[in-house]
């Protein structure tokens, strides 16, 4: 839920409102205006970036402990 914008956390499918791109495109955006391939590419890029950021944060915590 940390990735879901605060105003969207009470929606039926909050994960569809996570900003996947720098332009603020979400799963919902791609469902409405994009293709399945565009959605998959954006989601893959977002997941890789998010995992890298989380891992970097963990490494920083381990180094300071």
Q: What is the pLDDT of residues 11-65, one digit of tens each?
A: 999 999 999 999 999 999 999 999 999 999 999 999 999 999 999 987 666 665 5
The pTM assigned to this predicted structure is 0.77
Is the torsion defined by CA of 10, 1, 46, 40 positive or negative? Answer: negative
Domain boundaries, the chain: 6-64
Contact between 17 and 4 under an 8 Å Cβ cutoff? The reply is yes
Smallest CA-to-CA distance from 15 within 6, 27, 23 is with: 27
């Amino acid at each position: 839920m940390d990735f879901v914008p605060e105003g969207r956390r009470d929606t039926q499918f909050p994960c569809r409102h996570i900003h996947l791109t720098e332009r603020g495109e979400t799963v919902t955006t791609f469902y409405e205006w994009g293709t399945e391939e565009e959605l998959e590419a954006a989601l893959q890029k977002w997941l890789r970036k998010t995992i890298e950021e989380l891992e970097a944060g963990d490494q920083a915590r381990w180094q300071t402990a």
